[in-house]
Structure 1
């Protein structure tokens, strides 16, 4: 096909007929420059130069060469437009072979353009599909992040509630330990008091000479000694309970898990904080 283009350019360089319009001389120079650019494979520059030649002195054969130059550079639509313009402006003196080849070129380019458009549609569809998938993945990631954030907030609230419960249990155990300590001290004090009174009643029993006085002193001694024993027992149990309940460490803080044990009947618990 290249020789066809060159042949038509050569034909354009032949002396114009007498009825040629002004500008034929400039046209010939532009055609020669277009030929040089075409041979140098500067097809787009060649097409632009040939356009100027056609503007200087319209000739259908120049349009054919313009179409060939655009086809070489891969600009299919511009090439087909130039071929169609060549066909539409061809006259009786135009080489029928060029016209036939122009028609064939138009059909070929139309098929190529249709194929290109179909490929573009397929590419656009694929791009849209990938874009939709990326958007769906982004939304899913955002939903997962939101779910993770809510789960973390819920976990933080739960940890805070557990910490508050553990701190409350710590305070309750301290109060209970102090209360039992107080009961222990009071019970021991009561035991000592009644123990002393029982000792005094025992002395009265030893000093009594009458049976009635001895029986009265003996009853008083047994009663006060019993109260003293009970008080000492209560005081000992309260002291043991206070020792068990009193926290061995400071108040719970974040990240701690602490067990607290109470005697049977007093309850047991777990202090947990995170």
Structure 2
């Protein structure tokens, strides 16, 4: 049975003062999946997120959340959404627990059992009754995550969620997100300029440039794998690669071959048969940075946060 998307962006378009900021964007987001949202400066990431949260109305198209249009059925649709934008703002003179209690009252249907559940889920049991002013940035991020999960959202939007966190805090935050996505079937949408973190966190990425969605790809797919072969004489290795019609790029001491896994033993056997000395044969996964630069032609990643 085919999985249904939780969120659908359909022909989403935004025009301001005659300039098309978002151009006919279509994207499906699925339960249990973490999707990274990347783009160069001014690509339209923030504008897209504003439309996905109802803070900005699209010029054309719509955002559909669990079958309901955000524009036509705002309250019902937005009730399925949780949001964290950079560093969550909390009442620092209150305890973490009282902050959560305050937010729970806004929803009206969240009991103490649910509050305790999200506290355990983000690992704040030992410090939850202390004032937020005593929390580290990482703890405040966890409290913000707990707050965004209180009402059991089906869709979680994170805009630069690891800004200011140290490596340990980033790793913790990533672990909680993957747990929430897997265990609760939440669709997580992450916009960030930290490519190394997106690479570790996400199941797939969507890349936007000049307001258009230019690529959607799964992370860690074999299609992006090349094999590095270090051998001598290098001229002979190149000759054999050409004869076998393999695409390759010559490095200092070897070749980067773009071949599928099944072709590697055949290539090695051909090298051995020709008396080539082989020092290394190893898979090399293209980094997300490599892929991003290929897709955008070298565009910068971070987007200016302008109003």
TM-score class, shorter? under 0.3
Which of the pair has the greater relative contact order for Cα pairs under 8 Å at 6+ separation?
Answer: 2
Q: TM-score with structure 2 length normalisation?
A: 0.24
* Greater fraction of residues in helix: 1
Determine which structure has the larger strand proportion and give its number: 2
